[in-house]
Each structure stands twice: as structure tokens, then as C-alpha cells.
Amino acid sequence: MNSEYKLLVGAMVTLALATSALVVVPHLQVSKVEPPEGLKPYTSIELRGRQQYIVNGCVYCHSQQPRSQAQAPDFQRGWGRASVAGDYYYDKPHLLGTMRTGPDLLNIGARQPSVDWQLGHLYQPRAYTPGSNMPSYPYLFELKDEAEEGDKVVNLPPGFAPEAKVVVAKPEALDLVAYLLALDRTYPITPSYGEIRD
């Protein structure tokens, strides 16, 4: 009976320490983080696009957390400065991602700010990045004989456009691109930004 009691107490102490280290301490560290000056809340179209990002599984292949230069070559890859907690102030839930099958997307809005490029890349990634293993998302687009007023036509590189058809972006594609373009965290961060504020 005595050894069972010690085992139970040991398990409870281990659970309490793990909970403190993995839940309580991180919560205390980031609970008072404020958004950086350059960060703006998402618009309604960007929030709809964020939902498309989740629904289409982009988070499974792309991260949104450039690491510091001491940890990884993310800066040399052109992915921008290391992210800070405030970069995610308006993100609920956070879409940090765990895989890097594709590039980190936190600053894709600064690296590739063209709506036309983003739409074309969603329709056919290999037209813009030869050898890309990213799937295409043709269901976010509509093929028409000719564009109507108000349609956003996707101009694809030669050899990738369908014969005698026009590729038109659906609202879901436009929303997703608006969200991707909102992923621009290139505003400056002061050296003291990471400090906890009372």
C-alpha cells in the first residue's frame, strides 16, 4: 500500500510540474502581449479567406512562424524576420503549422503581393513554380466561354490556360488571396518588444 501511495504522489507531482511548465508558465508569458503598432485586425473578407485556408488544408503543408537566424535559415530564404507573439494577436485559432512541405507563409503578402500571381498559383502552382508539389485548387475557379462584368479573370502563363475558355476566380479564391496578402508581418519590432508588460 505504501508503494502505491508513493507512485500516486509521484504521478501527481509529475503531472503538476508538466502542467506548470507547458500551460501555466507560457500563459503567463504571453497573457499581456499587445499587438505591434503595424499589425491591423483582419477584415471580413480576410477572415473568410482565413477560413478557406483552414478548410483547404493549407495549414497542413505551410507554417506561419519564421524562426530566428540562430535556429534556421528562414531569413536567408527570404521569409522575413523571426516571428514574435504579437504577430498572432488577432489569430484565433493560431495557424502556426507543424510542416514545411511548402514555404512558410507568414510574410507571403510582402514576398508576393500580386493578386494575379496568387490566383494563378492557386489554380496551377506548377505554372509559377516548376516542380512544385502543391496541389492545384481548380474548384475555387470557374471555366467560362467568356468573362462577364465583374469577373476576376486569371491570366495564366502560356501553355497552362485551358483552350477556348476563361478562368474566373470564385469568391472563395478571392477571399483566400485576400487572407494570404494580409499575411505581411514586415513591420519593425523594437528590441524590447518581447518583454512582458505589467
Long-range (24+ apart) CB contacts under 8 A made by 30-37 are 30/85, 32/196, 32/197, 32/198, 33/85, 33/86, 33/89, 33/196, 33/197, 34/86, 34/89, 34/197, 35/86, 35/89, 35/90, 36/84, 36/86, 36/87, 36/89, 36/187, 36/189, 36/193, 37/187
Distances (CA, A) of 59 to 90, 128, 151, 176, 177: 17, 21, 28, 13, 15
What b/e sequence results for 152-172 when a residue is b if at least 16 CB atoms lie within 10 Å of its CB, and e otherwise? bebebeeeebeeeebbbbeeb
- pLDDT score for 33: 84
The DSSP symbol for 161 reads S
The answer to whether residue 196 scores a pLDDT higher than 50 is no
pLDDT (mean) for 60-73: 86
Mean per-residue pLDDT, 82-90: 89
Nine cell digits for residue 63: 507554417
Cβ contact 153:168 at 8 Å: yes
State the pLDDT at residue 39: 92
DSSP-assigned beta bridge partners for residue 115: none
In this prediction, residues 80-98 reach a mean pLDDT of: 88
pLDDT digits (tens, 9 = 90+) for 91-102: 998 898 888 888
Coil vs helix vs strand at 169: strand
The answer to whether residue 37 scores a pLDDT higher than 70 is yes
pLDDT score, position 82: 87
pLDDT at 55 over 90: yes
For cell 500563459, what's the residue?
27
Give residue 192's pLDDT.
57
Reported pTM: 0.83
User: CA 159 from chain center: how many Å?
Assistant: 30
Q: What is the pLDDT of residues 167-176, one digit of tens each?
A: 999 999 999 9
**For 104-152, how does the pLDDT look when each residue is reduced to its tens digit (9 = 90+)?**
999 999 999 999 999 999 999 999 999 999 999 999 999 999 999 999 9
Average of per-residue pLDDT values in the chain: 89
Q: In the predicted model, is pLDDT for residue 198 greater than 80? A: no
